[in-house]
Homo-oligomer: A and B are copies of this chain.
């Protein structure tokens, strides 16, 4: 059918570690280069979570070199996904904070399981860190400037029904219908001639993609020096403690 399905399977919460991101980018590149593949549905094989976002372990107590390598891998994944020539559909079958939300925002279409127990959003500010400009640009392109400004400052996580009202996701369906719906949406998008659709997609996304490409090294340096700050390291450690306590 020309449609691939990628299932995130890195328990417990599909954190976007360096290894995960590298594999994700390689998989995307392979599909991109496979002429038989015209679309990809991205979903999770882990119950209740789509992806918990960037792996905090990669940002805590590591070397500057590590932070730089990690950040380059985050950029690489986004450049490939947001700029993909394939039709990309996110089947968000669980919560999807921060980097997990970015993955969904970078697709062409977002369908989410309708349960209000699942939430989605760019909540970086709650961890004391700042979503980089290209997370922000991607977000603004989906929900507009005002919703982005407010949500990013508050680090808002929205339950699925609210996310839908804001346009952060395009459609809600009962969880058991999610993959069926994703396939139907994919078929609708693939009914269009690839070439015209791809040129149109590029026209819509090029400005934002080019902006990161033009400032990529600078963005890596910014991230690594920001994350190396003792105050930020402390915030992240506190956040991890809190997560641990919540679990137990």
Contacts and interface: CB of A to CB of B under 8 A. Distances in A.
Interface of A: 108-109, 124-131, 133, 136, 140-146, 148-150, 152-155, 167, 170, 188-189, 192-193, 195-197, 199-201, 203-205, 231, 235
Contacts of A150: 108-109, 170
B144 A200 contact: no
A130 B199 contact: yes
B192 A126 contact: yes
A191 to B, nearest CB: 9
A148 B196 contact: no
A155 to B, nearest CB: 6
A148 B203 CA distance: 11
Contact of A200 (B108, B131, B140, B142): B131
A235 B140 CA distance: 35
A11 to B, nearest CB: 29
A125 B197 contact: yes
B148 A145 contact: no
Contacts of A146: 141-144, 167
B124 A196 contact: yes
A192 to B, nearest CB: 5
Contacts of A197: 125, 153
A204 B149 contact: yes
Given A145-B141, A146-B142, A188-B154, A136 B204 contact: yes
Contacts of A235: 193
B189 A153 contact: yes
A238 B138 CA distance: 36
Contacts of A199: 130
